[in-house]
């Protein structure tokens, strides 16, 4: 079966291309390299020992999408990652986020429908749950979707809604996966996260500080009502997350549902400080960090109930927080080696 992966050289996309190939799927990938690099293509091929079709294309360009589906009339399903993902940037450039994330999704579904491709896996986020009360944790898929607190979050909410409406009105079928906090890298250290500029997310900031690119990490608040005062998140290894997409594709064959949503997390919440201390342990480094003010818009704590993914998709996260951090560190060390080779 042939699957199109949009955002195929990005952080989650690249790991998913690997897992799809390992599971025997034929892959067509596309990316515009706005937040990834062409070298990722060769690195994926080195990992899997297999070839895949690649298009440098932008999700906002409908003609480019049309060409892919024309060239590959046997595509049966699409996994849609291509989107902007910075909360801060979305506040400054809301229209760019709506155009790329919402407009891109509309384009994609229109072209899929034109070519008779029915099955779409959509990258959503736990951000749709907003700030939840402790007694709602672990959060289930039945929890209400609330008003988003950033344009980025709103694009995920709007896409879920437009996909729901489309699934009800047509033969298009949707599996929306709500990711918690993806971290880590492939065990080979050949692919991982490549943040553009100063990372917004915790773990890339941690590894860049440990390697000396950043001077100091600031922990955004230690006066939250949690066990050590820092926020709680559900950190999930990107390879586990990638495997959930393979299960989602397989689910189209098993189920007649037109629209389904799954939480994709580990089911365990860890505080920011716990993650930092676990990182120090696995990397045998001392992290330079300070406690700072709370970051506006942060939710206090959130972690997934994964019962639905376990029971319905037959998927469960397998990696530990330590393993996720170990692979993130190995990746950062690999990037350092590449920088040194480039200089010499």
Which residues 6+ apart lie within 8 Å of 160 measured at CB?
122, 124, 128, 145, 176, 261
Q: Which residue of 16, 35, 36, 181 would you call a contact of ligand UD1, by CB under 6 A? A: 181
Residue 201 found at the interface with ligand UD1 (CB under 6 A): yes
Closer by beta carbon to ligand UD1, 22 or else 98: 98
Q: Which residue of 272, 306, 321, 325 would you call a contact of ligand UD1, by CB under 6 A? A: 272
Residue 298 found at the interface with ligand UD1 (CB under 6 A): yes
CB crowding 68-91: b at 16 or more within 10 Å, else e: bbeebeebbbbbbbbbbbbbebbe
Catalytic residue chosen out of the listed positions 129, 152, 179, 303: 152
Range in contact with ligand UD1 (rule: CB under 6 A) among 6-14, 216-224, 244-252, 327-335: 216-224
Closer by beta carbon to ligand UD1, 103 or else 229: 229
Beta-bridge partner residues of 29: 5, 54
In the residue annotation, 152 being an active-site residue is answered as yes
- What is the x/- site pattern for ligand UD1, positions 122-161, by CB under 6 A? ---x-x----------------------x--x--------
Nearest alpha-carbon partner for 105 in 149, 37, 165: 165
Nearest alpha-carbon partner for 105 in 123, 117, 91, 126: 123
Closer by beta carbon to ligand UD1, 41 or else 217: 217
Residue ranges in 83-102 that form contacts with ligand UD1 under rule CB under 6 A: 85, 87
Backbone torsions φ then ψ of 179, nearest 5 degrees? -80, 145
In this structure, the number of other CB atoms found within 10 A of the CB of residue 188 comes to: 15
CA distance 124 to 162: 13
Output the six-digit token pair for 213.
């690119």
Q: Which residues bind ligand UD1 (CB under 6 A)?
A: 85, 87, 125, 127, 150, 153, 181, 200-202, 205, 217-220, 231, 233, 272, 295, 297-299
């Amino acid at each position: 079966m042939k699957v199109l992966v949009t955002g195929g050289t990005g952080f989650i996309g690249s790991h998913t291309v690997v897992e799809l190939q390992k599971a025997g799927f034929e892959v067509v990938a596309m990316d515009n390299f706005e937040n990834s690099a062409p070298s990722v293509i060769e690195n994926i091929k080195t990992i899997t020992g297999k070839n895949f079709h690649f298009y440098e294309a932008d999700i906002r360009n409908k003609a480019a999408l049309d060409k892919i589906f024309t060239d590959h009339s046997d595509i049966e399903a699409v996994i849609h990652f291509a989107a902007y993902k910075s909360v801060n940037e979305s506040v400054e450039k809301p229209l760019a986020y709506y155009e790329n994330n919402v407009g891109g999704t509309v384009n994609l579904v229109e072209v899929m429908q034109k070519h008779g491709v029915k099955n779409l896996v959509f990258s959503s986020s736990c951000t749709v749950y907003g700030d939840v009360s402790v007694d709602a944790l672990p959060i289930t898929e039945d929890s209400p979707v609330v008003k988003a607190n950033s344009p980025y979050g709103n694009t995920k909410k709007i896409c879920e809604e437009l996909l729901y409406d489309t699934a009800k009105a047509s033969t298009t079928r949707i599996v929306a996966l709500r990711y918690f906090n993806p971290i880590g890298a492939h065990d080979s250290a050949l692919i991982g996260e490549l943040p553009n500029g100063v990372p917004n997310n915790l773990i890339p900031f941690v590894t860049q500080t440990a390697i000396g690119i950043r001077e100091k990490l600031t922990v955004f608040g230690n006066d939250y009502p949690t066990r050590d005062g820092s926020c709680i998140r559900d950190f999930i290894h990107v390879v586990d997350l990638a495997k959930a997409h393979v299960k989602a594709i397989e689910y189209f064959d098993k189920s007649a549902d037109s629209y389904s949503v799954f939480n994709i997390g580990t089911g365990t919440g860890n505080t920011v400080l716990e993650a930092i201390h676990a990182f120090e342990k696995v990397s045998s480094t001392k992290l330079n960090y300070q406690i700072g003010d709370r970051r506006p818009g942060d939710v206090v704590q959130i972690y997934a109930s994964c019962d639905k993914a376990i029971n319905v998709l037959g998927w469960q996260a397998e990696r530990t927080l330590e393993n996720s951090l170990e692979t993130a560190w190995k990746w950062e060390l690999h990037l350092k080696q590449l920088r040194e080779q480039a200089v010499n």
